[in-house]
């Protein structure tokens, strides 16, 4: 089983990855101050504890062990590359690693899948490092959140529980017809989108707090890190009804009890700065 896993990993590594694409995907995993970003992978001696339930059919030798989650009308699929669970010394980990299969753009497919593998590897390394002190739980899963004739959006969620819980959501959005990765910046004519979207989000925050006193966002100077504007590579997805949705990790713009929050950006607010109406309209 370990040999098959290593074989598949080697196949991914042999796919040429353009520097520009690599930088775009890495920027989609931003580092935040004062928070550890925990990512995972079972390797070496710890592999014996891994429950490898599903393998990808990127090679004939692994085809028989593949589990498929269809979404692109039988052409492209999101599949579970592997799933593993382990408990030790008051620590636990449960992770599903997604993989994309069936894209004609094998460079993009290989790059994204390698990133998923690296995330899982780092998460497992965090888990093993915590075994000495204990009291850590990591849970990661994924789902297809958008599936239209043009678009595919995949959300990978990572929840880390130590003294308290911390949820991160990571999105990948693909143009299924053009076989290309969609970035937030690519949706707009220029960098104005950062200010325009940020101002709309702040207005939504104020309206929500006014309507519901239980909702709190970090907007004032009294907050340690008040929200001022989105990151140019802020996590996002495009909904089935072609609306841009901006996503924030837990604690990023609100107290922990608010969880990971997201905001739908009205299309009329950004219509003048969109690069086109193929995705958002």
Helix axes 106-130, 19-27, angle to 10 degrees: 50
**Burial class of residue 177 in the structure, from the number of CB atoms within 10 Å of its CB (0-12 exposed, 13-18 middle, 19+ buried):** exposed
Task: Name the band, by pLDDT with cuts 50, 70 and 90, for residue 23.
Answer: low
DSSP 14-64: TS---HHHHHHHHHTS---TT-----B---GGGGGG--------SSGGGGG
Tens of pLDDT, residue by residue over 28-80, are: 444 444 433 333 344 433 333 333 333 333 333 333 333 344 433 447 789 99
Domains, the chain, ordered by start: 2-181 (3.30.565.40), 187-273 (3.90.640.20)
Residue of 150 and 234 predicted with greater confidence:
234
pLDDT for res 69: 42
């Amino acid at each position: 089983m370990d040999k098959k896993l290593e074989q598949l990993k080697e196949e991914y590594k042999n796919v040429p990855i353009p520097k520009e694409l690599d930088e775009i995907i890495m920027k989609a995993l931003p580092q935040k101050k004062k928070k550890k970003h925990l990512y995972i992978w079972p390797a070496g001696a710890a592999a014996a504890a891994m429950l490898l339930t599903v393998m990808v059919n990127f090679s004939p030798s692994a085809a028989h062990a593949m589990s498929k989650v269809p979404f692109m009308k039988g052409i492209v699929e999101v599949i579970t590359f592997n799933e593993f669970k382990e408990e030790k010394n008051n620590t636990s980990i449960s992770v599903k690693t997604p993989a994309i299969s069936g894209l004609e753009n094998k460079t993009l497919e290989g790059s994204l899948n390698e990133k998923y593998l690296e995330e899982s590897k780092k998460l497992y390394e965090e888990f093993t490092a915590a075994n000495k002190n204990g009291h850590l739980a990591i849970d990661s899963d994924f789902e297809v959140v958008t599936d239209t004739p043009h678009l595919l959006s995949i959300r990978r969620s990572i929840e880390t529980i130590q003294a308290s819980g911390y949820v991160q959501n990571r999105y990948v959005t693909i143009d299924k017809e053009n076989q290309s990765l969609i970035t937030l910046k690519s949706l707009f004519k220029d960098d104005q989108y950062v200010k325009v979207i940020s101002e709309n989000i702040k207005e939504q925050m104020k309206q929500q707090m006014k309507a519901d006193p239980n909702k709190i966002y970090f907007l004032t100077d009294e907050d340690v890190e008040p929200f001022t504007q989105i990151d140019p590579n802020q996590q996002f997805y495009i909904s089935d009804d072609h609306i841009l949705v901006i996503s924030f990790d837990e604690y990023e713009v609100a107290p922990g009890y608010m969880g990971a929050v997201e905001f739908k950006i009205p299309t009329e607010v950004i219509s003048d700065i969109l690069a086109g109406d193929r995705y958002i309209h």
